[in-house]
Structure 1
Amino acid sequence: MNFHCLARYLGLSARYHAVAFFASFVLLATPLLAASDAPQVYAGTVGASHVVVELEGSGDNVTGRYFYRKHRLDIGLIGTWTGDRLILESRSSGDRLILRRDRSGLAGSLTTKGARKVPVRLAPLGTQAASDNEALSGITGLSLYERQQLADLTLVAGAIRPDGSRSVRDWREPISGMTLFRIENGYPAPALEKINAALERQQWERVSQWFACEGFDGKSGMDISEAKAPYLSDDFVGYSWFASWSCAGAAHPDFGTQGYTFDARTGRELQLEDLLYFGQLPAPLADTPAFYAYRSDAFAPRVVALLRQLYQQEMQPAEGQAVEDQCDYADPSVWDFPSWYLTGQGLYLGAYFSRAQRPCDEPDWSVIPWQHLTRRSTEGSLANLPAPRPDTLRFGQLDLTRDDIEQLSLDFDESGVPGLGIALRPGAAKRLEAETIQLLHTQVTIALGDKTLVVASLVEPISEGRIRISGRFTLAEARDMAGQIICTMHLSAEQIDPLGLSGRLPCKPKKRQSAPQ
């Protein structure tokens, strides 16, 4: 079961889909008591060992789970009421429970796979039962059973280590081994407090997942669950978490990566649309029909178009190979809900495929460089870009220098209305095409330094490396605009089309400049 697809239906942001699917399929039980649809949680003993049990049922069918407080790992249960007896079995441990209601709750016996029989006594656990773990108070979505599972656990601090100009410290939960960093310094105190609090919540959620993934032979089904090295910059704090698992009851083993990114100045956790967004603001709310439509109809096709410009060879299908090895990264459907996280090179996006093509998942090359990102502020508008140099031409968020321009000329449309044509050199032309793919169907500003020349609606990508600045200009206005560009950007005579422009400039063009290699 794919992590990315299930997010649409389950609405889970902190858990891997296969684990969430397992929980919904095996652990979501039906009520034990006919009058209630809520899970019934019990605490008690199995022999001399303390346990917590969660049961749900529908009619006579009952499913659930339990854990020994000493080990805390989930053991799944499934069974039925037969008369006044509840018979439950565990497929992973081979345990068999036979229980009856009594005044205190449930009582009966457990018989192990080795035929050892011990008494069982269970009493209902109140919803206000304490977990003795203050860190869990800030975590929403944990059930009473899960809070009991994490009760009394503590995190052990590691040594402080440098990370660039900042310092971080790892914290480890000893039973599961789940380890995640905290930031010691280098950011504003309010932001640092929010980020570290979120990191602690995320770590406890991973610990809960580790216990909830039922394995075999008394072990967790989580094979790997670890955070990768953090990305720390003046603007962002981020990291990715990789896990692979084989939980009892799941159809097959699986794996996935989930990224987390924070605004380093405010501590706010960011979403993918805060960093890469194709469309009109504000972005649609997550988990809404408009959001899913945007991801499939706008986001995924634009990502494919952008990656085709950036990684032409990698985006070619692997023809002649077996179907499972034909990783078609040009298929938009593999990019609509990618894994993502920040790196030093930009934003990593991880494609996902059907089960038969899982080796194609998360290629190592699919990074969107920083210059193609569109970071938004908390108010929903594009965050402030660095002030452009006065001698640059800015198209959207792309800055063009004199070395990017092949030629500037007067340009007339079919009706004879004058404008300007700017032909770019090959490297700049590729950057422009990628930028226009990203900004398609938006209002784009073309500016000279901080002076706006024109604002226009971008209706198609510019693939020929030629910008046309048009409007209701007179010939004199078009020539005046050309003069501003030539003089401000210090263009050479060879970069100016002599037809209509030479001899009419307010400055003297520079001497010939060699084209960049």
Structure 2
Amino acid sequence: MLKGLIRLAPCAAVLFSLIPSVHADDGRRVFTGTLGKMPIVVELNITQQDEVTGRYFYEKYHRDLPLSGALQNSTLTLTEGNNRYGDDKPLSTLELEETGSGWQGEWKSPQGKKLPVKLIEARLTAPTSSTLPFIAALPYSEPYEYLRLQGLKLKPAKKENFMGYHLQWWTEPETKISLFSVESGLSKDDQQRVNQQLLGRLWNEVISYHGCQLQGGENVEFMQQAQPKMISPAVVSLNISTSYYCGGAHPDFGDSPLNIDVKTGHPLSLEDVLWVGEGNPLLHAERDSLGDEPLSKDESNARYQYVSKELVPWVIKQFTALYPTEMKTPTGDDDCNFQDESIWGTSPWYFTEKGLYLGAYFARVQRSCDRPDWSILPYSLVKQHPGAVKLQLPQG
């Protein structure tokens, strides 16, 4: 079953229909072709002819090279790379002429080496029924990433027994991104729904890695660790911790949990699990996607009002009663102030055996205060304030 979940079907492409056009709604267009003898994939946005942007990768290597330049009449002049961090090194250039189906011209290195470039509008095959849903959506939203992922494969890594469930870890070798699938312990249908979300998240993190590489250039760092936190017949919960430097002044780190409703395969929002407001719990777009679909303006405003006016004060009140020592008012400027409402408004959260973990998020100067190990709401308390989804929570 797992082979069907992760297969990208490149070999069977000729048997299926072609997607009619390959471009994003914001004007980006995707091309395939060659630079010299090397196959490449190129994404260009020529909506503003005096400020053309793009990127490309060699199919052999998959790593992005940034492009920028201008289109004058039918001649597209592009610079490969950039000197954004104060370097003053010479850069390679491309000079292309528009053809009926794409572009052709020449790539030139700073040392004067020249190679021919030929590009045609990319033509993608429609995904098959066995393609992972996350991958199947990419040709219509991110065709460039779809073509990149077709050249990548997951490799099996360690096996693990966690809370009585057998896990198979998978790694994408180029990025070193790893995540697990559930191999036993759930029904066949539940297992398939959960694994679609887990492996979709793995591929989404691979895309994030390449986005970081494009922004950060040669000095990029992107290290990630996934940890299962709880698996039960009702939920699969894990935390993904990322330390990264994608350019800019400082490196950073953060947690990005994934909480899956086993019976539907939907990611869970905190409002799906815990609701301390008046009336019915909020439902929003996150439950029907991988968490990337933006909230509507009305949803976003309603959620902000709920979180800031009701949830955060309630959380601080509960933690003060449960953990009075940890929540005491700090005596020095360098102490962690867990009474500060701003640190709980964007709490990463996940399930544990003991209760619902809510993390704190501090400003950069106090990031050492992040990730307290004690900030858990017992399930006995959570059950008194059920969210929008009826879940069978542990007794803890």
TM-score with structure 2 setting the length: 0.77
Q: 1:369 to 1:52 in 2, by over 3 A?
A: same
Which runs of no fewer than 5 residues in structure 1 stay unpaired? 1-32, 387-396, 399-517
Q: 1:132 to 1:151 in 2, by over 3 A?
A: farther
The one-character-per-residue Cα deviations of 1:314-343 (angstroms, maximum 9, x if unpaired) are 22354434xxx4532212122112111122
Sequence identity of aligned pairs in percent? 33
Amino acid at match of 2:228: A
Counterpart selection for 1:65 from 52, 55, 59: 55
1:192-203 equivalences under 5 Å are: 192-203=191-202
Q: Separation in 2 of the partners of 1:375 and 1:269?
A: 22
Amino acid at match of 2:322: L
1:143-158 equivalences under 5 Å are: 143-158=142-157
Shift of 1:109: 2.4
Q: 1:189 to 1:220 in 2, by over 3 A?
A: farther
Shift of 1:101: 1.6
Contact map agreement 2:272 2:389 (CA 8 A) in 1:
no
Q: Separation in 2 of the partners of 1:150 and 1:79?
A: 27
Q: Separation in 1 of the partners of 2:315 and 2:34?
A: 55
1:21-32 equivalences under 5 Å are: none
The one-character-per-residue Cα deviations of 1:9-41 (angstroms, maximum 9, x if unpaired) are xxxxxxxxxxxxxxxxxxxxxxxx9xx952111
Q: Which has the higher contact order (CA 8 A, sep 6+)?
A: 2
In the alignment, does 2:82 pair up with 1:91? yes
Counterpart selection for 2:103 from 92, 103, 106: 106
Q: 1:187 to 1:104 in 2, by over 3 A?
A: closer
Give the secondary structure class of the aligned counterpart of 1:371.
helix
Amino acid at match of 1:73: R
**Which stretch has the larger CA shift, 258-267 or 236-245?**
258-267
Which runs of no fewer than 5 residues in structure 2 stay unpaired? 1-22, 84-88, 285-294
In the alignment, does 2:296 pair up with 1:299? no
Q: Separation in 1 of the partners of 2:75 and 2:52?
A: 12
* Equivalent residue, structure 2, for 1:258: 256
* Equivalent residue, structure 1, for 2:291: none
* Equivalent residue, structure 2, for 1:121: 118
The one-character-per-residue Cα deviations of 1:449-505 (angstroms, maximum 9, x if unpaired) are xxxxxxxxxxxxxxxxxxxxxxxxxxxxxxxxxxxxxxxxxxxxxxxxxxxxxxxxx
Q: Separation in 1 of the partners of 2:192 and 2:220?
A: 33
Q: Separation in 2 of the partners of 1:171 and 1:261?
A: 19
Amino acid at match of 2:220: G
1:314-393 equivalences under 5 Å are: 314-321=326-333, 325-374=334-383, 380=388
The one-character-per-residue Cα deviations of 1:361-394 (angstroms, maximum 9, x if unpaired) are 333332222222138889x3765789xxxxxxxx
The one-character-per-residue Cα deviations of 1:56-95 (angstroms, maximum 9, x if unpaired) are 1324211121111111112222222345432322127943
TM-score with structure 1 setting the length: 0.60
* Equivalent residue, structure 2, for 1:392: none
1:418-433 equivalences under 5 Å are: none
Q: Separation in 1 of the partners of 2:393 and 2:30?
A: 53
Amino acid at match of 1:43: T
In the alignment, does 2:240 pair up with 1:228? no
Aligned length: 348
The one-character-per-residue Cα deviations of 1:204-237 (angstroms, maximum 9, x if unpaired) are 1112222222259976934212212342234432
* Equivalent residue, structure 2, for 1:78: 68
Q: Separation in 2 of the partners of 1:383 and 1:81?
A: 56
Q: 1:384 to 1:253 in 2, by over 3 A?
A: closer
* Equivalent residue, structure 1, for 2:15: none
Q: Separation in 2 of the partners of 1:212 and 1:302?
A: 37
Q: Separation in 1 of the partners of 2:143 and 2:393?
A: 46
Give the secondary structure class of the aligned counterpart of 1:153.
coil
